[in-house]
Chains A and B, each alone.
Chain A
Amino acid sequence: MFISQDRKWIYQISVIDYLQTFDRGKKMEVLAKRVFKNVDPTRLSAVPSDPYGNRFVEFMKNSVFEKPLEA
């Protein structure tokens, strides 16, 4: 649990739903979405574990938890 600098907000964070591996079902999901929905596979949530994790951390770092300005 964290409290914001201005003491207005309380945050609670956790990682959930992490028991999914990039298995055959997920590969089919990517294939299906690429064929039928014509979406860019790199933007989907169904990507292999390594790129998924890297993107996850980057997103958290850059977009979610903005780095506070140095005091």
Chain B
Amino acid sequence: MLRVLPSYVEHLEKNTDKSYLAKLFGIFTISMAKFTPLSVIIMENTLPNIDHAELQFTFDMKGSQINREVLKSKTVRDLRTDRPTGGQVLKDFDFLRLKELKKFINFHNDDWSTIISNISQDVAYLQSQRFMDYSLLMAIRKVGDGGEEARDTTESNGHFDIQRTATHSKRQLDENYTKIMGKYSGYKK
């Protein structure tokens, strides 16, 4: 891990505001009596800071084809009528199926070019460090569902859902920026 830090910093400096890599905040090793040392990496939580129920869909996509479906048992009709899955993390095939049904992919031309070029940069970096198995996490929500940024865009459009004020429970605020990924090496007798 420490081996890649210099190049990681360099990549982020070169691509400030462009990289989509979830930021690394810190690496710790916690040693306690009776436990083998526990290594913890703190990374940025990249999901929007709103109630997950207000998200329409969350997808984790890799581009591989095995075991990349969560809603396998659902028929097309189910998908059409079911409530949005919000915070439940769906995968590649679910995305492809829902995309056809819901037509939620509709990027601006410029955004498309930006995204593809930024992703290519990130991937080139990850390849240079021999990383693999990463995912693209995409959260999709409706304009007007929570979040201040959404507010401006609803002004000019009359037909959106009634605006709701985002409510943050304390728990979510606590979770806000960190997701702890730990490597737990077990209890030492």
Give chain A's interface residues, CB within 8 Å of chain B: 1-22, 26, 33, 39, 43-50, 52-53, 55-61, 63-68, 70-71
Which residues, 89 to 113 on B, are CB-close (under 8 Å) to A?
A: 92, 95-96, 104-109, 111-112
Give the interface SS of chain A, mostly helix, strand, loop or mixed.
mixed
Q: Number of B residues contacting the other chain (C-beta, 8 Å)?
A: 59
B136-173 residues at the A interface, CB under 8 angstroms: 136-143, 147, 149-150, 153, 157, 160
With contacts A4-B104, A68-B108 taken as known, whether A11 is within 8 angstroms of B138 at the C-beta atoms is yes
Q: A11-B140, A15-B137, A18-B134 are in contact. Are A45 and B126 (CB under 8 A)?
A: no
- In the complex, A20 Cα to B63 Cα: how many Å? 16
Binding site for A on B (CB under 8 A): 1, 20-22, 41, 43, 46-48, 56, 60-67, 92, 95-96, 104-109, 111-112, 115-116, 119-120, 122-124, 126-127, 129-143, 147, 149-150, 153, 157, 160
Interface of B is mostly: mixed
Partner of A68, one of B107, B134, B142: B107
CB distance from A12 to the nearest CB of B (A): 4
Question: Please, which residues of chain B bring their CB within 8 A of the CB of A43?
Answer: 64-66
A-B contact pairs, 10 of them (CB 8 A): A1-B149, A6-B106, A10-B141, A15-B137, A18-B134, A49-B131, A65-B107, A65-B112, A65-B116, A67-B112
Chain A residues, Cβ within 8 Å of B157: 7
